[in-house]
Each structure stands twice: as C-alpha cells, then as structure tokens.
C-alpha cells in the first residue's frame, strides 16, 4: 500500500509541475475592439484575443448569432506568399533533358542543423513535379538520410548521412545532370566526393527560376527548410562537370579558375566580391541579365571572416525573426493547457473561399507550428474541395488521435463545427449532427503551452488561412452532451451557457474546487464503502474512483459560465505534503509492528 501511495504521489507532483489551469473562453464578437476580441467567460482581459493582419471583429454581414462576427480576409499584399530569404538566379529555366552543374559552398549557422534547401525551384507544397528540381540536405538524417537531389520527379540521395556534414564551417555541395540513352544521369557530390548517383526518366525539365537557401514557394508552404548561414562561389553551368573538376572546386579553387563558359552555354557565377546589398553580380555575363536577386533578409555579407574565398559571401537569415505574426490573418488566444478528461471546442464558420493558395485546407483552430510533425499539437480544419471519401473535416488531438469526416462544409453558410472529448470518446458534429466518432484510451489530455490561434497555424506559411466569417468561438473544459451540442447549433453559445448547470469536477471528492492530494485521502479513507462521494456519479468507492482522481489531478473547478482564479499548489508545497503523508504512514507502520 505504501509503495502504491508513493507512486501515486510522485506521479501527481509531476503532473502539477508540468501543467497549468486549462483554457476556457467564449468569443461572440459583440462589442469587440478593432485589435482585440473580448472573452465573455472572463472579465479581467486575461484571455482576450489579439488580432493580426486582416481580421475585422465587428463585421455585421449575416452573423450566426447576435449582430457581429469576425471576418477573416486574405493577409495584406506582400505576405500572401510568406517571406523566404533566398538568392534567385534569373533566367534559370531549362529545356527538357538538359545538362547541368549546380555547385556552391554553404555554411549552415543554425544552432540545430536540420533540413535545408541548397538549390530549389520547388513550389513549396505537394509533389516535386518533373519540371522542378532541387538539391537539399539534412545534417541529422531525420527527413532524408543526408543529401538529396530531385530531377524529373525522381530522387537521387545518399543512403546515410555523409561523415563530416555537421562539422562547422563551409562545405561544398554539387550536383551534375547529363542526358543519356537511359534518361538523365544525376551525380551528387559532398566536399568534392561523389556520394550518390542514379538515372532519372527522360523528359525532365525545369520551368521555374532556381533559388538558393529555400524554395521559391510560388505554391505556398512554410519556411521549414530555410538556410540560415552563408553561401559562396555559386555556379550554375549548362553542362555536367567532371568529378575531377568538382573536386578542384571543393578544394577551394575559384570557379573562374576552373570553368571557362562556352559561347553557347548557360553559365552563372557569383563570387560576391565587390557586391553589396541584395544584388549578386554574375561574373560570366556582365550585362546584368543574370545578376542574382536577394529576397527578404538575404544580402551580400562583406565580413571577410564569413567568406569562403575572398572577402565577401552571401548571407541568408531567418525572415521571421522580426515579427512572425504579421503573416497570418488570425486571432491569437492563450495556451490551452491541461484539459483533463472532458472538453469541448466549437466554432461557427461561414467560409467564403474554397481553399487557399495551393493548400485546400482551412484552419479553424490550431496550435500547430506550421511544419513538421503534428505530435502534441491540436488542429481543427476543413477542405471545401475534398472529393467524396476524402478528409473534408479533420481533428488532430495532442495525444495523436485523429478524427476525419467526409461531410463537406458549405460555402457562404453559417455552420457550427463542434468537437467533444468525453473520457476517451471523441465526437465531431456539424450543425448539431454527429459526423464522426471514435474511442481511444481515456487520458487527461494536455495541450501543453502552445498558443491557440483562430484562423491559421502558429507559424509557417500562409497556406491554410481561413477566409470568411467566424462566430461563437467556444472552448470549455466539459463534455457537452449531444442534446447540448444541438442546442448550441440552433440557439448559439450565449443561450446555451446561460442555462448550463455548474459542471461536476470529477475527482474532487471533498468538493473544494480542486482535484488534489486531499481528494486522494478522501478516496483512501472510504475505499470499499458504499459512501457517495461528492462529484462522483457511480455508487460506492472503488478502484475506478481512484482512476478518475488520477485522470483529473491538478484540475480546478472552472465552470462554463464563469471562471474564478483558483490557486494550484506549487510543486514544492506538494512535495512537502507528499513527504508528510509518507512519514505519517511510516510512523503508523512502525507503531503497529512494535505492538505485534
């Protein structure tokens, strides 16, 4: 019993140390200010929403309930396609079955080196089509095993991460393409040595300008592969250099000492010597037609220590460092936190556009970072262009649960989208009608410290921005019943909240508004009896009541109608309490032993 108690207390202390009060809010947009949305569940302003970009919280056209809703419009011109720090090579399109050499010294200055684009004409979303090319690398081998080229929609990549790729300083990356009878022969080089080769199908081409440092993102996407560092000795050549020529370049020999362009071939060389600002002079053609174009925070770096050769290089910086929030039309709330074993999310949507900028999904609610894994994150979104049988409405929960529906929302119509979690049962509703459900292992769902946004993700590209009107944003730490969800859809959140009784705080067996160690004592002292504990709908006291207490440990008595500030014990005081309880148990045990 003592070991059991100790295990429970240690687990409970850990839960308190890692969680905070859960988020509950209600935005009906009635009387909201131009840059702030008022939370009607709290009156202290702590959960008021912050507006970014083009969101009008006072739109009076056809609100679902009341007289106002929030209109989400396309972000301002200039940020519809997110900023990326790249060096663009003008006129770098290539005819079918081309010959090519791409080469550059690259110094990656990221603290955590990850997936990075070297050369790319990729649109940023979807498959890499046969008229786009790229060369990229992943120093940790998480997304790809080292270095990869894509030509003709075919990958040629290393089987493992090349040795030395994480060593600080410059490394030389190169790829050559040469047409053969079988197709295109592609060879990838790292620091002058061949590390991968393969043949791609004939008919490959490149219809878009090549960028260094990230994708051109003409199709959207996020800056997940942004190079943060320096580039030097950039070469694009309309023929495949030999392995010995590549090795000579990698040894530190200037391009101009290795390559002499033929009169008829495409050739671009940027050494950055004598350059300044965002323009890179092409040393092979002096008429300016192939001068490189720096985008966003990409420009010539004249610090000699940052150059591989000479005294200048080209630096690409993270374009989002100044203010990543300017990209999206969103309402930003607070981190959701520990929601426990019950919660409800609901939003009235009135979409005005079918999809956005190459990605047909529209985010309704999201804590997602905009790129990479969705593990630990929350997403509620929809796809107005979903074909029959595809994922028209999606729900991602932080424990990995995913629920999909094939019901497609309508354009220009107010519809209430609701998700309910009730002790492991996950259900989605559209206008009060159940559209999908699943059962998972019951768990105290913790959404972590990721900020909840309405209308788009927390970061990344503007490619799922909701466009249209949103009303009655509701987050509750209770599971609404099917009947209550129907009422929510028909009468609105304000009417529903006015009639909701105070919710049971499951596990709060002394009814003091918080599930804590005192409730464990109540359960322990009454274990096996027929006593009816407060906030417990099951008869008697048994092991299942302990499971309920454990599942909801750390939660406070927040109601759907009003939120009071309840202090959760600090981890230190909880530990002292745990030690005290254990000490008392030991004293009792020793006393019993001496009597025997």
Number of other residues whose CB lies within 10 A of the CB of residue 197: 14
Which of 92, 371, 89, 109 is closest to 227 using CA atoms? 109
The full set of domains in the chain, from first to last, is: 2-12+505-595 (1.10.1330.10), 22-77+323-499 (2.60.120.200), 86-316 (2.60.120.200)
Number of other residues whose CB lies within 10 A of the CB of residue 128: 19
Confidence of residue 566 (pLDDT cuts 50, 70, 90): very low
Give the burial class of 584: count Cβ atoms within 10 A of its Cβ; 0-12 exposed, 13-18 middle, 19 or more buried: exposed
Which of 264, 104, 129 is closest to 205 using CA atoms? 129
CA distance linking residue 342 with residue 425, whole number of Å? 9
CA distance linking residue 202 with residue 179, whole number of Å? 8
On the question of pLDDT at 17 being above 50, the answer is no
On the question of pLDDT at 474 being above 70, the answer is yes
Q: Which helix (H) or strand (E) holds 204?
A: none
DSSP state string for 118-165? EEE---SSS---TT-EEEEEETT-SSSSSEEEEETTEEEE-SSPPTTT
Q: Are 69 and 187 in contact (CB under 8 A)?
A: no
Q: Are 102 and 210 in contact (CB under 8 A)?
A: yes
Confidence of residue 359 (pLDDT cuts 50, 70, 90): low
Give 106's strand partners: 171, 231
The lowest-confidence range among 22-26, 36-40, 78-82 is: 78-82
Judging by DSSP bridges, how do beta strands 433-439 and 425-430 pair with one another? Answer: antiparallel
Most confident option among 5-14, 468-477, 527-536: 468-477
On the question of pLDDT at 570 being above 80, the answer is no
CA distance linking residue 8 with residue 367, whole number of Å? 30
Q: Are 410 and 352 in contact (CB under 8 A)?
A: no
CA distance linking residue 139 with residue 112, whole number of Å? 9
Number of other residues whose CB lies within 10 A of the CB of residue 373: 9
CA distance linking residue 255 with residue 470, whole number of Å? 56
Considering only residues 349 and 547, tell me which one the structure prediction assigns the higher pLDDT. Answer: 349
Number of other residues whose CB lies within 10 A of the CB of residue 282: 21
What is residue 584's DSSP assignment?
A: H
* 3-class secondary-structure state, position 236: strand
pLDDT score, position 354: 60
* 3-class secondary-structure state, position 586: helix
Measured over the CA atoms of residue 22, residue 484, residue 377 and residue 34, the dihedral's sign is negative
CA distance linking residue 573 with residue 579, whole number of Å? 10
Q: Record the pTM.
A: 0.53
Give 581's strand partners: none
Q: Where are the beta strands (DSSP E) in 14-54?
A: 25-27, 36-37, 49-52
Considering only residues 485 and 36, tell me which one the structure prediction assigns the higher pLDDT. Answer: 485
Q: Express each pLDDT in 248-276 by its tens digit.
A: 999 999 999 999 998 878 788 889 999 99
Confidence of residue 220 (pLDDT cuts 50, 70, 90): low
Q: Which helix (H) or strand (E) holds 117?
A: strand 115-120
pLDDT score, position 491: 92
Q: How many CA atoms lie within 13 A of 72 on its CB side?
A: 30
Q: Are 133 and 121 in contact (CB under 8 A)?
A: yes
């Amino acid at each position: 019993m003592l070991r059991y108690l100790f295990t429970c207390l240690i687990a409970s202390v850990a839960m308190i140390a890692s969680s905070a009060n859960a988020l509950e809010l209600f935005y009906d947009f009635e009387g909201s200010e131009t840059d702030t949305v008022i939370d009607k569940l709290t009156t202290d302003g702590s959960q008021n929403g912050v507006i970014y970009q083009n969101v009008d919280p006072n739109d009076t056209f056809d609100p679902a309930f009341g007289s106002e809703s929030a209109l989400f419009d396309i972000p301002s011109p200039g940020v519809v396609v997110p900023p990326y720090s790249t060096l663009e090579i003008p006129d770098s399109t290539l005819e079918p079955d081309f010959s090519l050499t791409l080469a550059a010294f690259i110094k990656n200055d990221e603290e955590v080196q990850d997936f990075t684009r070297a050369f790319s004409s990729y649109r940023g979303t979807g498959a890499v089509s046969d008229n786009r090319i790229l060369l990229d690398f992943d120093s940790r081998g998480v997304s790809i095993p080292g270095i990869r080229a894509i030509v003709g929609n075919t990958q040629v990549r290393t089987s493992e991460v090349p040795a030395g790729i994480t060593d600080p300083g410059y490394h030389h990356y190169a790829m050559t393409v040469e047409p053969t009878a079988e197709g295109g022969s592609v060879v990838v080089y790292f620091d002058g040595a061949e590390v991968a080769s393969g043949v791609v199908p004939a008919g490959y081409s490149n219809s878009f300008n090549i960028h260094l440092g990230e994708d051109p993102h003409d199709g959207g996407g996020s800056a997940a592969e942004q190079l943060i560092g320096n580039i030097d000795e950039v070469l694009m050549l309309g023929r495949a250099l030999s392995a010995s020529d590549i090795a000579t370049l990698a040894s530190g020999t200037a391009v101009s000492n290795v390559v002499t362009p033929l009169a008829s071939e495409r050739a671009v060389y940027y050494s950055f010597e004598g350059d300044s600002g965002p323009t890179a002079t092409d040393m092979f053609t002096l008429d300016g037609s192939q001068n490189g174009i720096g985008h966003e925070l990409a420009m010539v770096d004249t610090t000699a220590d940052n150059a591989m050769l000479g005294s200048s290089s080209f630096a690409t910086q993270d374009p989002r460092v100044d203010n990543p929030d300017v990209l999206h039309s969103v309402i930003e709330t607070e981190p959701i936190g520990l929601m426990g074993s019950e919660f409800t999310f609901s939003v009235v949507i009135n979409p005005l556009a079918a999809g956005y900028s190459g990605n047909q999904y529209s985010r309704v609610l999201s804590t997602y970072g905009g790129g990479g894994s969705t593990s630990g994150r929350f997403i509620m979104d929809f796809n107005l262009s979903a074909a029959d049988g595809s994922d028209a409405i999606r729900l991602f929960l932080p424990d990995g649960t995913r629920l999909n529906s094939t019901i497609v929302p309508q354009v220009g119509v107010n519809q209430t989208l609701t998700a309910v979690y009730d002790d492991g049962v996950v259900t989605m509703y559209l206008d009060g009608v159940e559209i999908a459900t699943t059962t998972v292992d019951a768990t105290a769902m913790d959404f972590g410290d990721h900020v909840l946004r309405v209308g788009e993700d927390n970061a990344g590209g503007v490619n799922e921005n909701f466009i249209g009107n949103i009303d009655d944003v509701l987050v509750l730490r209770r599971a609404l019943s099917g009947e209550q969800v129907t009422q929510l859809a028909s009468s609105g959140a304000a009417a529903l909240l006015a009639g909701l009784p105070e919710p049971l705080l499951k596990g709060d067996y002394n009814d003091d508004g918080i599930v804590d160690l005192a409730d464990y004592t109540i359960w322990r002292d009454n274990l096996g009896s027929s006593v009816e504990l407060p906030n417990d709908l099951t008869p008697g006291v048994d092991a299942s009541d302990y499971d309920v207490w454990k599942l909801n440990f750390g939660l406070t008595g927040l109601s759907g109608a009003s939120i009071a500030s309840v202090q959760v014990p600090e981890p230190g005081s909880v530990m002292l309490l745990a030690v005290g309880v254990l000490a008392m148990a030991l004293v009792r045990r020793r006393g019993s032993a001496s009597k025997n």
